[in-house]
Homo-oligomer: A and B are copies of this chain.
Amino acid sequence: MLPEDEAILADLTSSRRSVERGDILREGAQQQSVVLVVEGWVYRYKQLENGKRQIVSIFIPGDLCQPFGATPRALDHSLAALNQAVLSFVPPQVLLGAARSNPRIEEALWCDLLKTDALVREHMVSLGRRSATERLRHFFCEIHERLAVVGLVEGDTFDLPLTQVDMADLFGLSAVHVNRALQNLRSSDLLSMRSRKVTLPEVAALRELSMFSSADPQRDGVVYSRA
C-alpha cells in the first residue's frame, strides 16, 4: 500500500470510540456509519424469539463490519463487542468518496467486501456440513490465519476472547458440546488453551486435518492494518 493511500485510510480511524463488551448496535437500529474495528473483537449476531442466538460473523482489528457502501437503513442483525474494543464509525460517503478518488482504495474496499462474504460462506459450510470437531478445527485455522495477517499471532499463540457459550452460538452447537469438542482437540495435542490464550503447536497438521484452504492467497486486501 502506498503512503498516500495509507494517509487517507489513517484518516478513517481519526474519530475513534471505545466500547465495552456487549451490544454496539441492536437489530432494527438505524445504522448511519460503517464500523471499522481498530482494536478488539466484534461480532454480528441474530437472535430468535425463543432466545436462541446465532453469531454470523466475527471481526478482528482491520475489519470493516459492514459493506463500505451501506447506506443508512435498519439493521437486520445486531453488532456487539466480545471484549473492550476501539472502533471507528465511518460515514459511507467518506468511504465511497475515497473509493472514487483513488482506484487502489476502491479495489481494496471491494476486495475486503468479497473476502468477508467468502468467510461467511465458509462458515455456512461448517454449520451445514461439518461435525462439531471439524467446525472447531476449521475455525481455529481460519482465525489463526486472519490474526497472523494483522500481526496478532505471537509464535503460534493468540488471544481468543470467546467464551464457550459464544463459540456455541457461533458454531450452532450447545455449550456443553463445544466443551467436549474442545477436549477432543486438546487430547490430540493440536491445540492448547488456557485463560483465553490459544496455542496451535502444529498449524500445518491442523490445516491438513481440517482440510483448510486459505481464503486469502494474496493477503493484500486488508483495509486497515495495525501499525
Contacts and interface: CB of A to CB of B under 8 A. Distances in A.
Interface stretch (A2-10, A35-43, A52-60): A52-60
Interface string A162-187: 00000001011000000000000000
A114 B67 contact: yes
B215 A76 contact: yes
Contacts of A69: 106, 110, 113
Interface residues of A, number: 39
Contact of A76 (B110, B118, B211): B118
Interface stretch (A83-91, A125-133, A188-196): A125-133
Oligomer: number of copies: 2
Nearest to A170: B128
A128 to B, nearest CB: 3
Contacts of A110: 67, 69-71
A111 interface: yes
A48 to B, nearest CB: 6
A110 B125 CA distance: 26
A28 to B, nearest CB: 10
A71 B113 contact: no
A52 B46 CA distance: 26
A216 to B, nearest CB: 10
A20 interface: no
A114 B211 contact: no
Contacts of A53: 129
Nearest to A118: B76
A111 B172 contact: no
21 contacts: A44-B121, A48-B125, A52-B129, A56-B124, A56-B125, A67-B113, A67-B117, A69-B110, A69-B113, A70-B114, A71-B110, A71-B114, A73-B114, A76-B215, A117-B117, A120-B121, A120-B124, A124-B124, A127-B172, A128-B171, A128-B172
Q: Which 4 A-B pairs have the closest CB atoms?
A: A128-B172, A127-B127, A54-B128, A76-B118
